[in-house]
Amino acid sequence: MATESFSFSNNFTHIIDGKKVGSQKTLPVINPSTGEVLANVPVATREQLDETVKAASRPFRLRGHAFRRAPSDCGASCGLYCTALRPIRQLLKKEAGKDTTSATFEVTISLGWLQGVAKQTLEDETQIDTDEKKAEVRYLPHGVCAGLIPWNFPLALVILKVAPALLTGNCLIIKPSPFAPLAAMKFIELAQKVVPPGVLSVLSGDDELGPWIVEHPDIPRISMTGSIAGGKAIMRNAATNLKDLTMELGGNDPAIVLDDVDPAKIAPLLFRVPMRTQNKAQYEIVKRFIDDCHKNGYKFALGGQVDTSSKGYFIPLTIIDNPPEDSKIVQEEQFGPIVPLLKWSDDDEVVKRANDTVYGLSASVWGHDLKRVESIANRLQAGSVWINEWAALTPDLPMSGIKQSGIGYENSKHGLFSWTKIQAITRNKAF
């Protein structure tokens, strides 16, 4: 099937055993810019999940441990993906409320991720090789894995899981967010042109599908990006079968700006981030934050009013000027176009305040006095710390959350390790 005849605008289906499959029940996907139904996607049943796992188990058994061919899957996917950049970008704009710049950023970084991971390797290692003994470390695939995807980067986070899963010889089932499943579903459908049936599957669904996946006895590994509450629920459900988990969870990332920085230059860099995506769930969360700030009499430096007569879920950038340290807007993840702006004057104090949280996903420090900047950065309790930049993510750098912001690693060799079972083999040569 040529990409020219491939429809990106309708016929959104599961992919099970390499085939397009529907369900009797469907779920509407809302365009957050208009509030209108964009498409309907099938709601997977438990039986369809079982069928998908069974289909994914077959190619894994057939491939055995000869999984070094997996880089070719990533490489072929790159070429195919390049033919679909424009229609996938349009899907992201419609389903995730992204503007053209943000959607272009996501499709571009997704391509870069495919290309970067395709160059990575994870070879078995010889640790000991003497006249008496040989000892090797082998990196074996888990088998059938699952990726649970949020709505804010509905394509990039799919590829962030698909690429290393294929590289390490696993088969992967993707569950996209019900708020923004379309780009993910079409990418997986398109990928069937280059991967064997069952290797890469997608199931869309409602709130029941996630727990079914987590509890399934034949899915030994799950990689999830989502909220802290969702991560805790997954840990509870996964405990029954002691599953291998990698989870990137919520963050409330401090951006510490030194007094030698021009506010006019730094403001666009900091405040553009919360404006990138929107949906109904985020809209309601941000409205509650705004209501709470009004109720408590906090000062609004910008914004503070929501036009509820709009068809779409639009909220202007809202900045709260120096709210109390223990306020909801400071202590909780905002995940939308509302941010608190806090005063500070002492380096030790600002580090203490930045670390006084259950979150530890990422942080940034901005300033020209590099000695001072690095002193602050080195003391921040976050999985990623950026100096004079934001979201400096690459396939070759590990990404992880500490505290309640995550478990395990994604990206780089550390991320590849998590997609494998590590086996030590020793041999007594004197026997």
**One-character DSSP codes across 397-413:** S-B---GGGEES-BSHH
CA distance linking residue 116 with residue 166, whole number of Å? 13
Q: How much is the pLDDT for 82?
A: 75
Q: How much is the pLDDT for 75?
A: 62
Radius of gyration of the chain from its Cα atoms, rounded to whole angstroms:
23
| Crossing angle of helices 100-118 and 85-96, rounded to 10° | 130
Amino acid code (one letter) for 130: T
Beta bridge partners of 138: 423
Q: How much is the pLDDT for 155?
A: 96
How remote is the C-alpha of 210 from its chain's centroid? 15
| pLDDT tens, position by position, 151-176 | 999 999 999 999 999 999 999 999 99
Task: Please list the residue range(s) of the chain that carry CATH number 3.40.309.10.
Answer: 255-387
**Closest C-alpha to 53, from 18, 13, 17:** 17
CA distance linking residue 295 with residue 84, whole number of Å? 47
Beta bridge partners of 225: 248
**Closest C-alpha to 148, from 203, 218, 89:** 203
The residues annotated as belonging to the active site are 248
Question: Is 3.40.605.10 the CATH classification of the domain at 3-249+401-426?
Answer: yes
**Closest C-alpha to 146, from 200, 195, 109, 187:** 200
Q: How much is the pLDDT for 2?
A: 41
| CATH code given to domain 255-387 | 3.40.309.10
Q: How much is the pLDDT for 81?
A: 73
Q: How much is the pLDDT for 281?
A: 79
**Dihedral of CA 208/209/215/216: which sign?**
positive
**Closest C-alpha to 247, from 227, 220, 273, 268:** 227
- Give, rounded to a whole angstrom, the gap between the first and last alpha carbons of the chain: 57
Q: How much is the pLDDT for 80?
A: 72
CA distance linking residue 207 with residue 233, whole number of Å? 12
Regions of the chain where pLDDT drops below 50: 1-4, 64-66, 69
Task: Please list the residue range(s) of the chain that carry CATH number 3.40.605.10.
Answer: 3-249+401-426
CA distance linking residue 249 with residue 234, whole number of Å? 11
